[in-house]
Amino acid sequence: MSADSTGRSGVASGTKPVLSVTDLCVDYYTDAGRLRACDHVSFNLYPGQRLGLVGESGSGKSTIALALMRMIKPPGRISGGRVMVGDDDLTAMSDNEMRSARMRLIGMVPQAAMSALNPVIRIRAQIQDVLQVHEPNLTYSQVQARIIEVLEAVELRPEVASLYPHELSGGMKQRVCIAIAVALRPKVIIADEPTSALDVIVQRQVMETIGRLQREMNIAVVLIGHDMGLMAQFVDHLAVMYAGKLAEIGPTPTLFAKPNHPYTHMLISSLPTLGQKGVFRGIPGITPSLLALPTGCYFRTRCPYVMDVCSSQAPTQVAFDGGHVASCHLSAVPGGLTGRVEAERDAEATLHSASAEKGTGEAGPNKTGGFS
């Protein structure tokens, strides 16, 4: 995917991306063989943008997050590609340079962040660590003032600094992790499933805090998650991962209105709606093992629109208007995915009306694997 063809909508021409990821590849060397968890992933993020990264478990979302932070540990390795934050090339930095860039240029709220806090160290010392490593010239009183400031930025009282993690609720711990991620006002933060362990009320409050910080500090955000409903409300751009590859990326309203990859279409169709009470539409089948990927398109074993070409040739990325890019052979077929979906809907409607006329009430099979 061309780095220039993604994530540009709504951005004044001439604006440089704050995060530019080009052909990023990450491999894990396991006893069973090498697996590629991030396969030539490219995207741009512009100042103040919010990008959602979705995909099933094991699709490589956290791998991308860790690779952006240069925190992939053996048996994993970044095997190719480039990550730029502004004019700084993170992939070309020495380990020492990267230590200084981490949290200052790019911060992260890791997956299962709450257990990332050290249980035997008070919150004050955990925030202090980050400030002192990166800003060693701060005086003691300046550090204490900054600690209070970052706690207040995430709506926590100053007294929280004196507590241990076990004395905090889940939502408070998550806020401390966010405070640490933004303490140095980085240009980009990656939040890896920041609300998955929280109840819906606290989830909403935490997302509001992330949104407010993003606006006030003009930070670009990469939000990783599974919840398409949450993504629809929070992010302006959406990237859909499948088996280590980017299946589709583009502005959120465009992807919801006119997805060009069947996987995105099925993820959106699986969202419950008020008119579908009692019906749950899932995606049939399971993600293939990254150690035994099918030939051609990795999604072909689950795709309702699979064609002959899909088993012999991997689809290449096709750019549509407005920074929308998808990897699917249907892009070359007249009518594309929309044509197929409409044809399927028409066929189902015809079947229903024929059944109604006969009085059988017989319905067609649920092509997306839903059950009622």
Residues at the site binding ligand SF4, with contacts judged by CB under 6 A:
261-262, 297, 299-300, 303, 305-307, 310, 315, 328-330
Nearer to Mg ion, 62 or 331 (CB): 62
Nearest approach in angstroms of CB 58 to ligand ATP is 4
Nearer to Mg ion, 147 or 191 (CB): 191
Nearer to Mg ion, 62 or 174 (CB): 62
Residue 262, contacted partner among ligand ATP, Mg ion, ligand SF4, none, CB below 5-8 A by kind: ligand SF4
Nearest approach in angstroms of CB 238 to ligand ATP is 15
Nearer to ligand SF4, 36 or 329 (CB): 329
Q: Which residues bind Mg ion (CB under 5 A)?
A: 61-62, 111
Structural tokens at position 192: 């890896």
Residue 60, contacted partner among ligand SF4, ligand ATP, Mg ion, none, CB below 5-8 A by kind: ligand ATP
Nearest approach in angstroms of CB 138 to ligand ATP is 35
Residue 191, contacted partner among Mg ion, ligand SF4, ligand ATP, none, CB below 5-8 A by kind: none
Residue 306, contacted partner among Mg ion, ligand SF4, ligand ATP, none, CB below 5-8 A by kind: ligand SF4
Nearest approach in angstroms of CB 278 to ligand ATP is 27
Nearer to ligand SF4, 84 or 330 (CB): 330
The three state secondary structure string of the chain is CCCCCCCCCCCCCCCCCCEEEEEEEEEEEECCEEEEEEEEEEEEECCCCEEEEECCCCCCHHHHHHHHCCCCCCCEEEEEEEEEECCEEHHHCCHHHHHHHECCCEEEECCCHHHHCCCCCCHHHHHHHHHHHHCCCCCHHHHHHHHHHHHHHCCCCHHHHHCCHHHCCHHHHHHHHHHHHHCCCCCEEEEECCCCCCCHHHHHHHHHHHHHHHHHHCCEEEEECCCHHHHHHHCCEEEEEECCEEEEEEEHHHHHHCCCCHHHHHHHHCCCCHHHCCCECCCCCCCCCCCCCCCCCCCCCCCCCCCCHHHHCCCCEEEEHHHEEEECHHHHCCCHHHHHHHHHHHHHHHHHHHHHHHCCCCCCCCCCCCEC
- Spatial separation of the C-alpha atoms in residues 368 and 172, rounded to whole Å: 39
Nearest approach in angstroms of CB 37 to ligand ATP is 3
Nearer to ligand ATP, 54 or 117 (CB): 54
Q: Which residues bind ligand ATP (CB under 6 A)?
A: 28, 30, 37, 55, 57-63, 75-76, 111, 290
Nearest approach in angstroms of CB 288 to Mg ion is 18
Residue 330, contacted partner among ligand SF4, ligand ATP, Mg ion, none, CB below 5-8 A by kind: ligand SF4
Nearest approach in angstroms of CB 350 to ligand ATP is 39
